[in-house]
Amino acid sequence: MKKYVLLFVLFIGVTALAQKELNAYKYIVIPTRFDFQKEANQYGVNLLLKYKLEQLGFETYLDTDVLPEILRTNTCLYVYPVLYTKSTMFKTTTSIELFNCYNKSLFKTQNGTSNSKNYKTSYNEAIRKSLKSFGDYKLEYSPKKKELIVKEDNQLITNDVVTKDNDLNILDNKLNKGSFNYKGEEFLFVKKGLMFFEIQNKKTSVIIGKMIASGFKKGIYHVEFNGKLGFGYYGENENMIMEFMSSDNFVEYVNLPRID
């Protein structure tokens, strides 16, 4: 019994600390389509998240909205949610995780479940249960103090803005430039979040993978490709190189040549 009480106390403490980190952010930008959705706001979950996160005190936007200029020029001022789902004939399970522009997880809810056989009902019910992990949390906005540096023209800017925005621009420019070849077909990296990209067949729009920048090492990306998990990075001529560990402990390399 003491063990469970201790675990509960630790969970409350970790949750409170994570929620305190959220107080450094005033804005949340929500994708209009998550990976499991075939269309924007399918089952109404995106607008549900927008509404429920607004109730916590955040100023929320969909990524298709016209964002305030301050958010367009500094992506580190807002956080974004990732929605995890698992659906079977008998149960739908969801959880939500909030990330900042450095791909750092700030808060993750517990699983919410629904036994409804109606997709819209089950997703909405499960998400509402997941969001109960916030408890009685209300945003008490308190922005972090940022280190100021001076540019050559004597303008003051924050160090985190310079570093991260440059990384984002470099990544966007590389991935949005042309397409990639894989087994004779063309694939595009389509941006779906701050550092999230879907790997789509250019002709059929079929999604065969996704990529997200590593929060630990610049130039390395976490990759899910054809059901395999691994790492990606740029090789010669800005080709995308992917590495996957096989079942017999050998590294499998996949090379996607860039098509300009």
Q: Is the dihedral of CA 129, 31, 11, 13 positive or negative?
A: negative
- The chain-wide mean pLDDT, for the chain, equals 77
pLDDT band (50, 70, 90) for residue 183: confident
pLDDT at 81 over 70: yes
Strands (E), the chain: 27-30, 59-62, 78-87, 92-99, 105-108, 112-114, 148-150, 156-158, 179-182, 185-191, 196-201, 207-213, 221-225, 228-234, 240-245, 251-256, 258-259
Mean pLDDT, rounded, for 27-40: 90
pTM above 0.85, yes or no: no
pLDDT band at 134 (very low <50, low <70, confident <90, very high): very high
Q: In the chain, what percentage of residues exceed pLDDT 70?
A: 73
Asked if residue 244 has pLDDT above 60, the reply is: yes
pLDDT tens digits along 38-71: 899 999 999 999 999 999 999 999 988 888 888 8
Query: Alpha-carbon distance 218 to 97, whole Å?
Result: 22
Structural domains of the chain ordered from first start: 2-134 (3.40.50), 157-259 (2.40.128)
